[in-house]
Structure 1
């Protein structure tokens, strides 16, 4: 799994228990997976279709640095399926796992559109081939 983004847990990210609010963490994951999908599918029009069970395993507190990991599970005809893990950057303790997140590629009409991709590509490889 590749860990792409780091977030610093700030006071405004906390719940009444003084730990990271789960809704904030899910928003960060959703944004990160959307950005990853936009880059992979080379289309800014993608949406979250599905998130499987979310397993909160530990909490984060103010001042912690967390990192969001994403791994591609499969390329569908109009979708990209990934899994995600969030961990504490300093301790490597797993905070959350999501086994399946499905993102759908959309056409100009807002309906699912085939993307034609079959494997993970890196931007640097695209640039070298041009």
Structure 2
């Protein structure tokens, strides 16, 4: 799994128990999945269709640095299925796993559109084609 993004847990990210608020973490995962999908599918019109059961395994507190990992599970006709893991860089513990995040590629009309992708592509490889 590739870890693309790091976040610093700040006071505004905490719940009343002084640990990272789960809703904030899920928003970060959703944003990371969207950005990853936009880059993979080369289309800024991508939406989250489904997020599977989540499993909180550890906590993060103010000052911790977390990193968000995303990996492709499969390419559908108009979708991209991802999984995510978030880990705490300070404690080296996995904070959360999400096994299935389904992102859908949309056309200009807002309806699902085939993307024609079948494998992960890296930006560096696209740039070398220019």
Q: Same fold (TM over 0.5)?
A: yes
Normalised by the size of structure 2, how large is the TM-score? 0.99
The residue number in structure 2 matching 1:76 is 76
The residue number in structure 1 matching 2:107 is 107
Once the two structures are superposed, residues 66-89 of structure 1 have per-residue CA deviations (whole angstroms, 9 ceiling, x without a partner) of 000001000000000000000001
Normalised by the size of structure 1, how large is the TM-score? 0.99
In structure 2, the gaps of 5 or more residues are none
The residue number in structure 2 matching 1:93 is 93
Matches for 1:1-130 after TM superposition, within 5 Å = 1-130=1-130
CA RMSD after TM alignment: 0.5
Tell me the number of residue pairs that the alignment of Structure 1 and Structure 2 aligns: 130
Distance (Å, rounded) in 2 between the aligned partners of 1:64 and 1:118: 37
